[in-house]
Structure 1
């Protein structure tokens, strides 16, 4: 009988710990703040042309609409790749100038999954997955560390 009593009061197993009642329930989704920290895109078309980011992420940045964002490959050291950002006036956001160099240097190709994690100050950390859904790992070539130019395409090198 004790278990029946618990079920009726809502204080049984799986109800969020001590205290029970409605105060332990999370707020309804409509009252939660919109936080978009991670998302991915799949490369279906030419990997070197501008890339559309999810509309929800563009909505998250509403009002800020940065002219630039910075990509950091998760395994390529501290280098930031500057990307010019375009907004089309209909809520769509694109990575434009700078994307081609990043894509070449990191081997972005058809069928790749590109995972983005929004850090802060318009920095996105990027992880790449190939068409087999396996992560691509890279490291920064030591010869590239002295050159500060963003104009040259210097590939991260895949460890053997």
Structure 2
């Protein structure tokens, strides 16, 4: 009578062909993919540059952009150019241009901001207020494709 044994997955017979396990590889061998992250605004966004999570800065290691393009998810095609600073300690900051973006989108103390990296240095975002309810926007001019940050009001938060 043949003896049977269970594999770590609980299936199969022992002694046959040394097959491979159907278990996924351990997390340390998987590629690091950071497509989404969030920040909570603890300091005045009009005074302080905003720090992204360290893991996102690590993800961009070697391809550190000088600027990124921010877009509110529901605010038309308008992209906001924001300069990026890296401090050499794996920290990335949204700097010049962030203030105009924050004003136009009602970003304030206590806001929760969800970012999604779309590639090509584009980040789409959703803003949630201090009650954790999402802020929605509409654009005065959906057809404008002007990438100028001179006007600080392409999106308006309905009251």
Does the alignment reach a TM-score above 0.5? yes
Tell whether the 8 Å contact from 2:70 to 2:79 is kept in structure 1 after alignment: yes
The 1:121–1:9 alpha-carbon spacing in structure 2 relative to 1, beyond 3 Å, is closer
Q: How many residues end up aligned between the 2 structures?
A: 148
Q: Deviations over 1:107-137 (max 9, x none)?
A: 0011100100000101000000011111111
Q: Distance in 2 between matches of 1:41 and 1:34?
A: 19
The 1:122–1:22 alpha-carbon spacing in structure 2 relative to 1, beyond 3 Å, is same
More helix by share: 1
Q: Displacement of 1:71 after TM fit?
A: 0.5
Alignment of 1:15-94 (within 5 A): 23-48=21-46, 49-94=48-93
Q: Distance in 1 between matches of 2:28 and 2:151?
A: 46
For residue 55 of structure 2, give the secondary structure of its aligned residue in structure 1: helix
The 1:33–1:116 alpha-carbon spacing in structure 2 relative to 1, beyond 3 Å, is same
Q: Distance in 2 between matches of 1:133 and 1:95?
A: 22
Confirm whether residue 103 of structure 1 aligns to residue 80 of structure 2.
no
The 1:148–1:83 alpha-carbon spacing in structure 2 relative to 1, beyond 3 Å, is closer
For residue 38 of structure 2, give the secondary structure of its aligned residue in structure 1: strand
> Which ranges in structure 2 are unaligned for 5 or more consecutive residues?
12-18
Mean alpha-carbon deviation: is it higher for 32-41 or for 42-51? Answer: 42-51
